[in-house]
């Protein structure tokens, strides 16, 4: 095990402590921490979808929280570029990208223009995979903040922190620097860790992968759970704006159709189906048993990020019948998992918390049929249009070089060679960008470094902006619009409520209480709350305060 894994780097801790904020006293919670804290993230699940299908949910899936637990009706993210990596980095650090540095899933280095991935680390490779791809997610090195799990393991090294997901970033970021992450490999249908965490998998992982559980879904059909009439509130299958790639855009859908045997194409097709979540939860069950999570007095943390709903919403939109059915399939899988936890760990020994990394916009083409101003804007078109305007003002040259995460990068050498100041070019870019159809707001570096909190969306974009990584000019797209030009599917990544409003559901009566909480709360409040329940300090860079749990 590396020295880095035994203690967070001194530089990170110093930065974290300098940014530490004072939080008010937390609500009273049970004196003894739970034996196991199970933290579940549903990738791409807006709160509106949980409530829209409440009458069709299983009795002990999402309804375990809604009927027996604590749930927050007004949980929002506070940052503006709402994407997977950013959301997962906030959950258990309590730190927005302005502190953690996780400004997006990927971005470009402002100096070199090189592509950067949020969990890349060329020093490490995947275990059991012949070749680790370039820019693969292999470690949490890029995240400049500690998690609750890091704090727990610093004080109690015997505590176990395990992160599992269909996506590398969904496993690595919540597990933190001192936990252990496992992610799905679409090359062969296995779950793998990286050499950042260990040199070889433990026996329970080899046993799980050796049984080839993914192969059980070969030629299995994804069929609707309910009769056709139950989906009348959703948009039917087969719409022209629904992607027909992968498993197609109609149910029932057969996985691996037309293929003779399981291979990379089939294994990749598992994630955008209900079986991706089932497989991930099966691996989580194996982790609970193999690592003996929750079996002693030292508290453990299990984070499980279920990726399939994000793939489904990207392909078909949250308004679709396919997305509707996927929520119901997910609900049934959660119910089975919770009941297995009850049997293995004991109902009175663990806490469940469930949230999402971001919400989702409706598909623009469908939104237009509902009378909304909606559309798509390609970032390459935006950069080209901007350059035309800057060339008229400053002369020939590619002044804007690329779109990175949520903003525009510039040729700083060209700016200097022309004897201009960067801020001068950034300010000139702003009105040019605002003229482009689909752009709602533009913020320059001077604004992002400032203290103005009154201008709409500025504070949200400020929380998404980390100096040295983020572009100097940040762009907010119009409501109901999406980045991109491909006329199918939907996405996220805006400061609007459909992207920021996500579920926050908790269960564990002795620790969280029971009831609906209408008070507005922020995702940065989650980490201090989890820390309080576990009896440890909040992560040093956490920006929130403990949640108002409905404890008696």
Residue 231 is given by DSSP the state: G
Rounded average pLDDT over 248-272: 97
Residues 531 and 118: beta-carbon distance below 8 Å: no
The yes-or-no verdict on residue 92 having pLDDT over 80 is yes
Q: What is the pLDDT of residue 8?
A: 56
**Domain annotation covers residue 551:** no
229 secondary structure, DSSP code: G
> % helix / strand / coil in the chain, to the nearest 5?
35, 15, 45
pLDDT beyond 60 at 74: yes
In terms of domains, do 201 and 326 share one?
Answer: yes
Residue 325 lies in a domain: yes
pLDDT band at 31 (very low <50, low <70, confident <90, very high): low
pTM of the model: 0.95
Mean pLDDT score of the chain:
95
Three-state secondary-structure class, residue 184: strand
Are residues 140 and 201 both part of a single domain?
yes
Q: 519 and 448 in one domain?
A: no
If asked whether residues 30 and 97 sit together in one domain, one would say yes
Has residue 300 been placed in a domain?
yes
**Percent of the chain with pLDDT strictly greater than 90:** 94
178 and 49 within one domain: yes
User: Which among 424, 452, 483 is the end of a domain?
Assistant: 483
pLDDT, position 5: 53
Confidence bin at 12 (pLDDT 50/70/90): low
The CATH number of the domain holding residue 27 is 3.40.720.10
Q: What is the CATH number of the domain that holds 459?
A: 3.30.1360.150
Q: Which of 441, 461, 483 is the last residue of a domain?
A: 483
Contact by Cβ (8 Å): 325, 252: no
Domains of the chain: total: 2
Band of the pLDDT at 552, cuts 50, 70, 90?
confident
Asked if residue 236 has pLDDT above 70, the reply is yes
Band (pLDDT 50/70/90 cuts) for residue 18 is very low
412 and 317 housed in the same domain: no
Please tell me whether residues 336 and 443 are part of one structural domain.
no
- Average pLDDT, stretch 331-358? 98
Residue 173 lies in a domain: yes
Q: Would residue 248 count as lying in a domain? A: no
Looking at the structure, tell me whether residues 434 and 500 fall in a common domain: no
Domain annotation covers residue 491: no
Beta bridge partners of 350: 36
Q: What is the mean pLDDT of residues 369-389?
A: 98
pLDDT the model gives residue 22: 39
Residues 468 and 503 both lie in one domain: no
Q: What is the pLDDT of residue 10?
A: 44
Q: What is the mean pLDDT of residues 436-448?
A: 98
pLDDT confidence band for 201 (50 / 70 / 90): very high
**Distance between CA 445 and CA 294 in Å, rounded?**
47
Residue 255 lies in a domain: no
Residues 477 and 527 in one domain: no
- Do the Cβ atoms of 249 and 243 come closer than 8 Å? yes
Segments forming the whole domain that contains residue 83: 3-217+263-363+496-534
Residue 435 has pLDDT above 70, yes or no: yes
For residue 227, tell me if it sits in a domain: no
| Domain shared by 436 and 358, yes or no | no
Residue 28 pLDDT exceeds 80: no
Strand runs (DSSP E) across 43-114, as ranges?
A: 70-72, 75-76, 106-108
In angstroms, rounded to a whole number, what is the distance separating the alpha carbons of residues 362 and 382?
A: 22
Is the domain of 74 the same as that of 192? yes
Which burial class, exposed, middle or buried, applies to 130 when counting CB atoms under 10 A from its CB (0-12, 13-18, 19+)?
Answer: exposed
């Amino acid at each position: 095990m590396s020295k880095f894994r035994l203690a967070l780097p001194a530089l990170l801790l110093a930065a974290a402590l300098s940014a530490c904020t004072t939080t008010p006293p937390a609500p009273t919670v049970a004196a003894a921490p739970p034996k196991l804290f199970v933290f579940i993230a549903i990738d791409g699940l807006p709160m509106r979808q949980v409530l829209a299908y409440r009458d069709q949910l299983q009795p002990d899936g999402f309804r375990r929280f809604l009927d027996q637990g604590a749930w927050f009706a007004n949980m929002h993210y506070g940052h503006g570029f709402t994407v997977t990596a950013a959301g997962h980095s906030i959950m258990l650090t309590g730190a927005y990208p302005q502190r953690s540095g996780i400004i997006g899933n990927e971005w470009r280095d402002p100096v070199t223009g090189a592509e950067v991935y949020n969990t890349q680390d060329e020093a490490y490779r995947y275990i059991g995979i012949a070749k680790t791809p370039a820019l693969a997610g292999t470690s949490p090195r890029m995240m400049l903040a500690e998690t609750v799990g890091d704090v727990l393991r610093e004080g109690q090294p015997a505590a176990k922190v395990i992160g599992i997901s269909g996506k590398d970033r969904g496993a690595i970021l919540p597990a933190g620097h001192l936990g252990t992450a496992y992610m799905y490999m679409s090359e062969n249908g296995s779950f793998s860790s990286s050499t950042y965490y260990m040199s070889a998998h433990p026996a329970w992982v080899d046993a799980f992968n050796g049984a080839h559980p993914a192969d059980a879904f070969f030629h299995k059909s994804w069929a609707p759970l309910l009769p056709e009439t139950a989906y009348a509130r959703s948009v039917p299958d087969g719409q022209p704006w629904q992607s027909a790639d992968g498993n197609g855009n109609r149910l029932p859908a057969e996985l691996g159709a037309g293929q003779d045997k399981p291979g990379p194409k089939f294994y990749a097709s598992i994630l955008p189906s209900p079986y991706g979540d089932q497989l991930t939860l099966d691996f989580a069950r194996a982790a609970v048993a193999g690592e003996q999570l929750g079996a002693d007095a030292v508290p453990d943390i299990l984070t499980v990020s279920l990726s399939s709903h994000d793939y489904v919403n990207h392909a078909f939109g949250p308004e679709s019948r396919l997305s509707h059915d996927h929520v119901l399939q997910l609900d049934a899988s959660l119910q089975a998992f919770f009941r297995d936890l009850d049997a293995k760990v004991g109902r009175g020994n663990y806490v469940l918390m469930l949230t999402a990394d971001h919400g989702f916009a409706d598909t623009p083409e469908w939104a237009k049929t509902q009378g909304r101003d909606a559309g798509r804007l390609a970032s390459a078109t935006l950069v080209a249009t901007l350059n035309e305007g800057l060339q008229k003002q400053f002369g020939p040259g590619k002044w804007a070089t690329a779109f990175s995460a949520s903003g525009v990068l510039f040729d700083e050498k060209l700016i200097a060679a022309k004897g201009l100041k960067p801020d001068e070019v950034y300010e000139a870019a702003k009105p040019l960008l605002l003229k482009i159809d689909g752009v709602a707001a533009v913020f320059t570096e001077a604004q992002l470094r400032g203290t103005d909190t009154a201008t709409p969306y500025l504070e949200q974009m400020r929380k998404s902006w980390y100096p040295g990584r983020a572009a100097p000019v940040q762009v907010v797209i119009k409501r109901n619009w999406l980045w991109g030009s491909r006329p199918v599917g939907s996405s996220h990544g805006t400061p609007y409520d459909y992207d920021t409003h996500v579920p926050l559901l908790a269960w564990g009566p002795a620790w969280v209480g029971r009831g609906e909480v209408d008070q507005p709360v922020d995702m940065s409040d989650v980490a201090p709350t989890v820390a309080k329940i576990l009896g440890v300090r909040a992560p040093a860079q956490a920006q929130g305060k403990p949640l108002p749990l409905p404890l008696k």
